[in-house]
Amino acid sequence: MLYSLILILAASIMPAAGQISGPDDIVDEVYLAKAGVDGLAGESATEFLTTDIPIFCVVKLTMAEAATVRMNLVVVDVAGVKAETRVVSTSYVTKNGEDRVNFSGRPKGNWVAGRYRADIFVDDKLVRSLEFPITQPVTKVKANGFVRVKNSPDRPRKRN
């Protein structure tokens, strides 16, 4: 008798079908992206350069109902900046029928190289965190077309 009472109580506190029971039920997908050729969020990316401006964060919700979606872009490990410092904080309230939110972040000038994290909240509940690096672009050394020949004089010779 006690065992069946526990089962009935457990079943009564379980969420009903269709109710949101956790972060994975609220959010279908979250990804970071660089700007595409049209200037909008392009394909998913996990690494960025200091010159990738802006950086997009795309949040796809499982339901097209009103919700407050917030993104905090915070410092994880950047030289000279205290960890957990908010770089960008923005929010958007979806309307019925909207199930996608596009956030973008841009610094004044270029990004500072280091590790960052995008924290995504839906109705003030943390649902995802994406950590990512921003690195300096590799600079190529341009070679000139001149080659110094061994045993050649430093100055050009005079012609007769």
What beta strand segments (E) does 51-157 contain? Answer: 55-61, 68-77, 86-93, 100-105, 114-122, 125-135
Fold of domain 22-135: Immunoglobulin-like (2.60.40)
Q: Determine the residue type at 1.
A: M
Model's pTM, two decimal places? 0.71
Domain boundaries defined on the chain = 22-135
Confidence of residue 25 (pLDDT cuts 50, 70, 90): confident
- At CA 104, angle to CA 84 and CA 23, rounded to 5? 65
Q: Comparing 36-40, 95-99, 145-149, which segment has the lowest mean pLDDT?
A: 145-149
pLDDT, tens digit, 9 for 90 and up, residues 54-65: 999 999 999 889
pLDDT computed for residue 3 by the predictor: 33
Asked whether 116 and 76 are in contact (CB, 8 A), the reply is yes
- Tell me the percentage of the chain whose pLDDT exceeds 90: 64
pLDDT, tens digit, 9 for 90 and up, residues 31-49: 999 999 999 999 999 999 9
